[in-house]
Amino acid sequence: MNSAVVFNIQRFSVHDGPGIRTTVFLKGCPLNCPWCHNPESRSGRPEIAIKADRCLGCELCAPACPQGIAGPVNPLTNTNRPDSTCIHCGACVDVCPSGARDLLGETMGVDRLLAEIERDRTYHEESGGGVTFSGGEPIANGNAPFLLECLQECGKRGIHRSVDTCGHVTTDTLLAVAERADLLLYDLKIMDDARHRLVVGVGNERIHNNLKILADRGHEVWIRVPLIPGLTDDVENLTAVAEFAAGLARPFPIHLLPYHAIGGDKYGRLGLTYQLGDLAPADPVLVNEQADKMRAFGLEVHIGG
């Protein structure tokens, strides 16, 4: 039986597909989006996160650490964090009396995860919801065998299946996932390849080609566009998104996702810097105007979801 590292199971989710959903977050992602609200998803392995302001300085973590590297974290300097020698075993987490330390990510097998999903079946059935696999990138980082088995088992149980993907995955694997999923939530971020490489670290040719293939083969897809002020929300980029979507073999609905800073505090817990700092969310009036401009291309456009 396959397994993968899961870092969160979010229940009663209403933003990751139709109805009330159970969203399963898998670790590992090939992109490096500066607005990512799940920075703990980037690495494929479990990680130690530290809330420095909760550290009591009791030093109970030090003798518990098999590597001898754990210790109090200074809330002012945010120093003495886990380094590259940390094996992410969670021993320091278990002994921390204040909850200053968290182990982000746990290896789970298919049976155990399905049991967690089944707990929400009543809500799924009453709302037309189901399960959504997200991340990170649930198709990358060796997650695909686990994901495919989960999708198959959910299908046998009549659970609606969505997969949230950045599209930067091999075509064969994506199509295997699409055959077992009821819906793909597919990100289009930046249409210009050079800008895409600069901002998120990879090109977008594979992403675009994969989406064209999904359209040609008749799969169900929602295109999702994050509206990040100054990075993805300019007229040139959104017009390019609309033109590309309108030219696909079948029309897919587009969901515009206005920027929010939720998750920004996670970066400090991981010893990272949130690059967008105090970037303000987009003006709702502007977001509605952007949606109307895209609707002019004959597209079905939603805000959120």
Distance of CA 145 to the CA centre of its chain: 18
Q: What is the pLDDT of residues 217-226, one digit of tens each?
A: 999 999 999 9
CA-wise closest residue to 255 among 304, 191, 183, 184: 304
Spell out a b/e string for 185-215, using b for 16 or more CB atoms within 10 Å of the CB, else e.
Answer: bbbbbbbeeebbeebbebebeebbebbeebb
Reading the block at residue 133, the tokens are 């696999």
Kindly state the average pLDDT of the residues 201-212.
Answer: 98
Q: Which residues pair with 163 in a beta bridge?
A: 133, 184
pLDDT of residue 142: 92
Q: Please report, for the chain, the start and end positions of each structural domain, with discontinuous segments joined by +.
A: 8-30+122-303
- CATH code for the domain defined by 8-30+122-303: 3.20.20.70
pLDDT of residue 265: 84
Per-residue pLDDT band at 80 (split at 50, 70, 90): low
Helix then strand then coil, in percent of the chain rounded to 5, is: 35, 20, 45
Q: Concatenated DSSP letters for 26-61?
A: ES--S---TT-S-GGGSSSS-EEEE-GGG-----TH
Kindly state the average pLDDT of the residues 256-285.
Answer: 87
Which of the two residues, 67 and 242, has the higher pLDDT score? Answer: 242
Q: Which residues pair with 245 in a beta bridge?
A: none
| Rg, the chain, Cα only | 20
Q: What is the pLDDT of residues 162-185, one digit of tens each?
A: 999 999 999 999 999 999 999 999
pLDDT of residue 78: 57
pLDDT of residue 76: 66
pLDDT of residue 305: 81
Q: What is the pLDDT of residues 152-161, one digit of tens each?
A: 999 999 999 9
| Residue showing tokens 């109307």 | 292
